[in-house]
């Protein structure tokens, strides 16, 4: 599944509830950060330190509502702007 957050961040990923694993590919301002894998318990934490943006993108699973969520805390340098949010990426049944 693919989701765009704030128009600046594109997330493609999957959740495997049977194996309790998640995988995401993350793009920030058109720059691919890579593909990351984690577990339901540990989540995925990505530190971002690029020329135009820095901060963190953290994924976690809310097992009660069966959703993958992302907490974004980024500082855009040009023009100066802060992107801080906690949103659902996608959910499963």
List, for residues 70-90, the tens digit of each pLDDT value: 999 999 998 899 999 999 998
Query: What pLDDT band is residue 68 in, cutting at 50, 70 and 90?
Result: very high
Indicate whether this model's pTM tops 0.75: yes
List, for residues 25-43, the tens digit of each pLDDT value: 999 988 999 999 999 999 9
C-alpha dihedral over 39, 40, 41, 44, to 10 degrees?
Answer: 60
Q: How far apart are the first and last CA of the chain?
A: 14
What percentage of the chain carries pLDDT values higher than 70? 99
Dist CA 34 CA 19 (whole Å): 22
Tell me which of 81 and 2 has the higher pLDDT: 81
């Amino acid at each position: 599944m693919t989701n765009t957050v704030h128009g600046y961040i594109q997330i493609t990923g999957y959740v495997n509830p049977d194996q309790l694993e998640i995988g995401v590919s993350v793009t920030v301002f058109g720059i691919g950060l890579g593909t990351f894998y984690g577990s339901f318990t540990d989540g995925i934490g990505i530190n971002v330190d690029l020329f135009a943006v820095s901060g963190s993108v953290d994924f976690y699973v809310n097992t009660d509502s069966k959703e993958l969520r992302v907490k974004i805390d980024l500082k855009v340098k040009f023009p100066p702007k802060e992107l801080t949010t906690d949103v659902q990426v996608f959910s499963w049944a």
